[in-house]
A and B are shown apart, each in its own frame.
Chain A
Amino acid sequence: MIKVLNSFKSVPDLDKMPAADWAAGAESGQIDTSYLKSIINCYDESALELTLRFNDKAVSEGLDCFLGAVTAGDRIAEKTLKTLAALGFAGTDRIVSGEELTFRPELTASSLLTYARKKGPWDMIVMGVQSADGCNKKIPFLVAEGLGMTCISQVVNFVPEGDKACRVTYMRDGARCEEVVELPLLLAVGDVPSTYLRVPTLKQRLATKMQVIGQYDAAAGPAEFNESTLQKVELIDQTRAGALIDGMDAAEKAEKLYRDYLKGVMN
């Protein structure tokens, strides 16, 4: 059996945050994103969908997989864990922490390491390369170091090669690479088009309605890495003149744009 652990994070949809709230947050030093809709971090979403495709392929080749999903964050992520249970993740756990983890990737990684050791060993650990809010780009690498696992980053696809290896396609600087790598393996998924998480059927949801969302105490693990500590936040001013071109219709607006700004550049 191939044991696969997916780590994911629910993040606030920052695109919906008004500019005025960023300015107010920067001034006060308190960024409140709690009122924003929570979504799966886009890189983690690709990682989850690729894992399900890996599982589909493994099953079609007669291989057994155990899929586990874990998140370190608040209760809102449990909705996603329920969805993942319906999609075939037999293990669904939440690491509970009293700490704010957004800019503490070292602490988050330490919690994940303790969890992974307790519930492992894992043949594969899969997660996104980064999240939109923290932008740390650290957690997969710290987990790989902590577990001493081979790590491949910027992964765009992976398929089973028997139950002891995996064929991994990934991007590196200036090239697309493919190789067969022996398990165990940590995969950090990058930009992969068309990898939105599939939607479970009502039948799948009902079948896993009773699956327990496990709670794991983050305080059980020691800090394993030195932190870089956030001291201060500041607003990035990106404003420009924003001169509005008026006109009766599109033709008039386009005429002004062409005449005043584009003509010399286009020709």
Chain B
Amino acid sequence: MNYNLIINAWDPEAGEQCRRLTRFLQDTGLASEKGNMIILSEEESEESWGTLTELVPAGSVSVLYGEFYRPEPVLDLLSEMTDADDICIFPGNHAGEELAVRLAARKGGSSLTDVTGMKIGDDFVIGEKKIYSGNLSGKFRMEAKPFCITVDKCCEESQDSWPAGKAAAMISWAGGSGRDRSICAVEKETGLAEAPFVVACGRGLGNKAAAEAAAELTASLGGRFGATRPVVMNAWAPMDDLIGVSGTMIRPDICIVAGASGSPAFYAGIEKSKIIVAVNSDEDAPVMKKADVCIAGDWKEILSELVRIKTEDEK
């Protein structure tokens, strides 16, 4: 089967996405097949996308570019460019999820988002993904080509590299239908993804004041505060603090989980932590079994004691 990798270069994590897609190709045996890379860019200049070509094994490179990305004109071009392709692989980001599903719908193909693994048959593929909020994994059979999938952002990344590719085609897309447009970059350098020590708090904190107290205690411990979806949805903490599939995926040396039940969508964001410590007043909370170490008790008392002990230890 031949494949197309379709990457949007404006994603600040485009490099990681390329490495993830490459690892996916390697794990599924597609890396040795004929492949193309289609880069979507809001800048024509090679500076904005050139380095991405070193991160994937695809043979040829095409670039679609335009001033302001809207999916509809890009889909028109992708529909024309992917006629002879069996599999179109997108990253598991906002643009990838939308384009994969809509491209399959336009081409009479089939789609699956957040795929974690794939087996390829003669004229079908079986894609695997998390379902039921991440509690279970499901295997889905896709029979209609093109198979348009997105790769789950929990998947591992390849560390391999290839010689930089040159764009065989440069095609501009038409502008979308909007006006009075503005784009404000979201600062992702919050340190959460790289922090070696994180305290991740859940709705068991109870209120905004408690979340602020937890953030202060975390800072006193020299850690980075993070939060579950219910905490940020209640506006107890900013969106930047969100950990999980909707937010930041972390991999610290130690992650203390305080007042969170450990829902799978959140747990997916911390599962690469070397050591997970759960602190929960409910000894039977699901998170206790998903932790390396657990303490049944009040999160505030435990964190406060840790601050005291650390302060004394440093004297």
Contact = CB atoms under 8 A, between A and B. Distances in A.
Interface string B144-182: 100000000000000000000000000000001111111
Contacts of B181: 177-180
19 contacts: A132-B133, A135-B113, A137-B101, A142-B105, A151-B71, A154-B94, A180-B179, A194-B233, A226-B104, A226-B109, A228-B127, A233-B138, A242-B293, A251-B308, A253-B297, A265-B196, A265-B254, A266-B223, A267-B314
A74 interface: no
A258 B313 contact: yes
A44 to B, nearest CB: 14
Given A15-B261, A193-B233, A261-B277, A137 B97 contact: yes
Contacts of A201: none
A145 B106 contact: yes
B252 to A, nearest CB: 8
B180 A251 contact: no
B11 to A, nearest CB: 4
A254 B300 CA distance: 11
Contacts of B50: none
Interface string B271-296: 10001110000010010111111111
Q: Secondary structure at chain A's binding surface: helix, strand, loop or mixed?
A: mixed
Contacts of B127: 228
Contact of A228 (B102, B142, B223): B142
Contact of A238 (B98, B271, B309): B271
Contacts of B291: 240-242
A173 B276 contact: no
Contact of B137 (A173, A174, A234): A234
Interface in A159-192: 167, 171-182, 190-192
Interface of A: 14-15, 17, 19, 22, 25-26, 31, 42, 103, 132-138, 141-142, 144-146, 150-151, 153-154, 167, 171-182, 190-195, 225-236, 238-245, 250-251, 253-255, 257-258, 261-263, 265-267
Given A15-B261, A265-B254, A226 B108 contact: yes
Contacts of A244: 283, 288, 294-296
